């Protein structure tokens, strides 16, 4: 027997009847709200697409958490309405305070500044060796599939050696149920005269019964 072959484990043979019996006893059942969970191949494909990562200058070892040399960019769509654009700044301040991440920058995909390129540059200037672009979007539409990756790639060209990743959008996250429900309850309380306008509706007179 060669040295190499001594490290190859013997093939394990399982009786199909025992596997079937185990499956019958299992209490696990796929969640019904997502078609991806009932089709393993589609689930794997979605998982592969849900986080677009790129090495910009070679492979680097990074921990699977945000560290001191990581820069985070929270990017929204951008608006011609100044008040809407300012809200991403407020969210970034909340995010920075709650997470404790040292480098967090806001960005707008279009229509307003700072751009993704501006935010990327600021992250690098503050010492980031990896930039994490987090789209403040609900679902993976064209902006997530095409526009944000192209804009981020262009920004990264100016900073060779700095890697980046584009994370998944908010998507079907369970906590969003609580957020939507909280918005509904607050608006109903405002209409009833029991609460002030929230930050999103303040000054717009939109939160009312028609």
Cα–Cα dist 59/57, whole Å = 7
Q: How confident is the model at residue 52 (pLDDT cuts 50, 70, 90)?
A: low
Indicate if 158 and 113 belong to the same structural domain. Answer: yes
Are 161 and 66 part of one and the same domain? yes
Half-sphere exposure of 122 (CA within 13 A, CB side): 17
Same domain, 62 and 153: yes
**In this structure, are 143 and 188 located in the same domain?**
no
CA dihedral 60, 72, 120, 146 (to 10 degrees): 90
Task: Find the CATH number of the domain harbouring 104.
Answer: 3.40.50.1400
Q: Is residue 100 part of a domain?
A: yes
pLDDT in tens, 154-209: 999 999 999 999 999 999 999 999 999 998 998 999 888 888 888 777 777 777 88
Q: Is the pLDDT of residue 51 over 80?
A: no
Q: 177 and 141 in one domain?
A: no
User: What pLDDT band is residue 58 in, cutting at 50, 70 and 90?
Assistant: very low
Q: Using a pLDDT cut of 90, give the percent of the chain over it.
A: 54
Residue 10 lies in a domain: no
In three-state secondary structure terms, 104 is strand
pLDDT of residue 54: 56
Phi, psi of 130 (to 5 degrees): -140, 140
> What integer is the mean pLDDT of 91-115?
96
* 40 lies in some domain: no
174 Cβ partners below 8 Å, 6+ apart? none
Question: Which tens digits make up the pLDDT trace of 122-149?
Answer: 999 999 999 999 999 999 989 999 999 9
Average pLDDT over residues 61-89: 89
Residue 23 counted as domain residue: no
The CA-CA-CA angle for residues 160, 163, 165, to 5°, reads: 140
Element at 16 (helix H, strand E):
helix 16-25
CA distance 119 to 108: 9
- Provide the domain count of the chain: 2
Q: 179 and 146 in one domain?
A: no
**Which residues span the domain enclosing 182?**
173-210
CB 158 within 8 A of CB 141: no
Where b means 16+ CB within 10 Å and e means fewer, 28-37 reads eeeeeeeebe
Long-range CB pairs of 44-51 (<8 Å, 24+ gap) are 49/140, 50/140, 50/168, 50/171, 51/165, 51/166, 51/167, 51/168
Vertex 167: Cα angle to 70 and 68 (nearest 5):
10
Q: 138 Cβ partners below 8 Å, 6+ apart?
A: 169, 170, 171
| 143 and 57 together in one domain | yes
Does 30 reside within a domain?
Answer: no
């Amino acid at each position: 027997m060669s040295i190499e072959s001594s490290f190859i484990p013997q093939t394990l043979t399982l009786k199909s009847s025992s596997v079937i019996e185990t499956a019958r006893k299992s209490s696990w059942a796929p969640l019904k709200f997502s078609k991806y969970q009932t089709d393993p191949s589609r689930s794997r494909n979605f998982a592969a697409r849900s986080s677009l990562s790129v090495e910009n200058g070679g492979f680097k070892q990074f921990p699977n958490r945000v560290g001191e040399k990581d820069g985070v960019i929270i990017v929204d769509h951008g608006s011609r309405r100044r008040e809407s654009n300012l809200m991403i700044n407020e969210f970034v301040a909340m995010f920075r305070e709650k997470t404790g991440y040292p480098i967090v920058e806001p960005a707008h995909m279009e229509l307003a500044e700072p751009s993704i390129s501006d935010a990327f540059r600021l992250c690098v200037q503050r010492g980031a060796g990896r930039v994490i672009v987090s789209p403040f979007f609900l679902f993976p539409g064209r902006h997530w599939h095409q526009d944000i990756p192209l804009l981020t790639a262009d920004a990264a060209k100016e900073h060779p050696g700095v890697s980046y990743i584009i994370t998944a959008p908010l998507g079907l996250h369970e906590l969003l149920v609580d957020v939507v429900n909280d918005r509904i309850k607050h608006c109903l309380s405002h209409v009833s005269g029991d609460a002030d306008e929230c930050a999103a509706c303040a000054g717009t007179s939109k939160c009312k019964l028609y």
